[in-house]
Amino acid sequence: MARPNVGVLALQGDVAEHIAALARVDAEGIPVKTVAHLERVDALVIPGGESTTVMKLIERFGLADTIRRRVAAGMALWGTCMGLIVAAHDVAGVDQATLDLLDVTVRRNAFGRQNESAEVDLAIPALGAAPFPAIFIRAPWIERVGPGVQALAKRDGHVVMVRQGRVLGTSFHPELSADGRVHRYFLSMLHGDQRIGKASTAA
């Protein structure tokens, strides 16, 4: 089977880190900056960064409609940290444009500022029994989860990982960890693997 081509939105943020993490799980990470780039990939990762800036750049480069169209047609998409905010339905307390691909409400910087960043052993039942070393950096949390969304992990009672069909969102940064399980989980979604996605809902 050919290695999947996974686009990483290369407008800002942890682009190189995601490309390196994808290589470790035998996928081809491809920087995406234009509609032409986007049309050539099998899936898309929106990495961490600054959500208002990236959303403006997405609109400026004419990517928003193509991303929405590709996701509606079945393309898998994963937003990490800022990417989760961009993919969400709305942002609590802020009038902020989003792609509205996940039926969730997120709150920006909910776990604190840069100096309150932390690595947490996070229980993610869909990945197996071993905890995941989740790195939170100025991370959002999810305040509302729509009826079609699976909550896959929580930290201190707050939802931090969700899935809706082939759209995945994480508040944390798996690309900064040597543990490749979240990236492998995302790759399973490219082929419509529902078995893993339905394995468990976070307690």
Residue 119 is among the residues annotated as catalytic for this protein: no
Q: Which residues, other chains included, contact 83 with Cβ-Cβ below 8 Å and sequence gap of 6+?
A: 9, 13, 45, 46, 47, 48, 49, 169
Inter-residue contact 17 to 23 (CB < 8 Å): no
Structural domain boundaries enclosing 29: 5-197
Residue 28 is among the residues annotated as catalytic for this protein: no
What Cα–Cα distance (Å) separates residue 163 from each residue in 34, 63, 71, 109? 26, 22, 13, 21
Residue type, 197: G
Q: Which two tokens stand for residue 32?
A: 């995406």
Domain membership flag for residue 202: no
Domain membership flag for residue 20: yes
CATH number at residue 166: 3.40.50.880
Domain count, the chain: 1
pLDDT tens digit sequence for 153-183: 999 999 999 999 999 999 999 999 999 999 9
Catalytic site residue from 116, 173, 183, 191: 173
Domain membership flag for residue 203: no
Catalytic site residue from 50, 81, 119, 143: 81
Residue 81 is among the residues annotated as catalytic for this protein: yes
Tokens 């960043």: give the residue: 117
Question: What is the rounded CA–CA span in Å between residue 169 and residue 150?
Answer: 10
pLDDT tens digit sequence for 36-57: 999 999 999 999 877 888 899 9
Domain membership flag for residue 28: yes
pLDDT tens digit sequence for 62-101: 999 999 999 999 999 999 999 999 999 999 998 999 999 9
